[in-house]
Amino acid sequence: MSAFKVLAPGGFTMVQDNGRFGYQQMGIPVCGVLDSFASKGANILVGNDENQAVLEITVMGPSLEITKEMDIALTGAKMGMTLNDKPIEQWKSIRVNPGDILTISQIQSGCRSYLAFSGGLKVPKIMGSFSTYVGGKIGGFMGRPLQKGDILQTNDAQVLNKPRSFPCDYIPAYLPNIVVRAILGPQDDYFDQGIIALFETEYMVTAKANRMGYRLQGAPVSIKKGMPQSIVSEPSMPGSIQIPPDEQPIILLVEQTVGGYAKIATVISTDLSKVAQTTPGDTIRFEKTDLKTAHMLYMEERKKTAKIKELL
């Protein structure tokens, strides 16, 4: 039984989950949601497992005709949302019924939002994941972003006994000027003055910002005299900050598997969602941290997610 029909797909709306792991050596990137906290929050609100498939919505939202009774929840970037032309709130579960029209409009703050459905979206699991890899045309719904006329299904699930609301204190603010923490390396020995520039100046997000990576603009991050401008291509991971010959940082994200430029530092995993919620013109400052702190922050986020489940 279908769950909804796409009346308008929005800017770049596609099915994602928490990622596809173990295939990077084959050139298949991790993919998955860019803001894992918001995605997990949406699933929790409708009673799903945290890794159920959701819609990741970028900049402009879709319009959907609902064809089945279910609960939905929208989290992440602030976007106007209406049900049958009446405004409804984000970060809450909403009961929808056949014939309802759900419309999600343009971002007001942030960049990406996440729409979860009772039971999760019913799409094939490819290499252990529901996530869409557009470059490889695999996963998600037909390996591509949604298009007008698409009809999607959800897995069978009971609707909630009562509505759920996300605790206000746990809802993130999506700001145009952010600070993200990063650990030096793995090629920090290629830099001296460049390290000072990276951590003491502000960088602007350019228009070249997508799921592969964010190109920044600001003070040059110079490579040490005598060091090569590139390295032998090696595996990369989300958060790597690589420095190409133009000396402007690129933060690699979830659709990159290798890189051939020196990586001065790595943004910690818990701060990658901040990066993914910025848009061109926003600014980023880097703050130096260490691996011990990164592990502590990761565990704190897991505890926060568990606490939210208890509260709901």
pLDDT given at position 162 = 95
Assign 7 a pLDDT band (cuts: 50, 70, 90): very high
Q: What is the pLDDT of residues 61-106, one digit of tens each?
A: 999 999 999 999 999 999 999 999 999 999 999 999 999 999 999 9
Instruction: Read off φ and ψ for residue 266, nearest 5 degrees.
Output: -135, 125
Distance between CA atoms of 10 and 115, rounded to whole angstroms? 13
Q: Does 14 score more than 90 pLDDT? A: yes
Using the structure block, give the residue that is written with the tokens 């298009």.
147
pLDDT given at position 209 = 95
Distance between CA atoms of 241 and 286, rounded to whole angstroms? 11
Q: Which residues does 37 contact at the CB level (< 8 Å), separation at least 6?
A: 172, 273, 301, 305
pLDDT given at position 258 = 87
Amino acid at 23: Y
Q: What is the mean pLDDT of the chain?
A: 95
pLDDT given at position 71 = 97
Contact 169, 257 (CB under 8 A): no
Q: 0.85 cut: is pTM over it?
A: yes
pLDDT given at position 40 = 96
Distance between CA atoms of 165 and 58, rounded to whole angstroms? 23
The domain segmentation of the chain, as residue ranges, is 2-170, 177-308
Contact 211, 253 (CB under 8 A): yes
Q: Residues 42-53: what's their mean pLDDT?
A: 95
CA distance between the termini of the chain? 29
Q: Residues 1-29: what's their mean pLDDT?
A: 93
pLDDT given at position 236 = 87
Percent of the chain whose predicted confidence (pLDDT) is above 90 = 91
From 9-13, 174-178, 258-262, 281-285, the region with the lowest mean pLDDT: 258-262
Q: Residues 51-68: what's their mean pLDDT?
A: 97
Residue 90: closest CA among 99, 102, 77, 101: 77
Q: What is the pLDDT of residues 107-131, one digit of tens each?
A: 999 999 999 999 999 999 999 999 9
pLDDT given at position 98 = 97
Which residues make beta-bridge pairs with 283? 177, 204
Assign 226 a pLDDT band (cuts: 50, 70, 90): confident
Distances (CA, A) of 256 to 12, 234, 250, 260, 279: 18, 11, 12, 11, 19
Instruction: Read off φ and ψ for residue 221, nearest 5 degrees.
Output: -100, 90
Q: Does 1 score more than 80 pLDDT? A: no
pLDDT given at position 249 = 97
Amino acid at 126: I
Q: Does 216 score more than 90 pLDDT? A: yes
pLDDT given at position 235 = 86
DSSP result, 223-263? PPTTS-S----EE--TTEEE--TT---EEE-TT--EE-S-E
pLDDT given at position 259 = 85
Report the CATH number of the 177-308 domain.
Answer: 2.40.100.10
pLDDT given at position 61 = 96
Q: What is the pLDDT of residues 245-279, one digit of tens each?
A: 999 999 999 998 888 899 999 999 999 999 999 99
Q: What is the pLDDT of residues 148-193, one digit of tens each?
A: 999 999 999 999 999 999 999 999 999 999 999 999 999 999 999 9
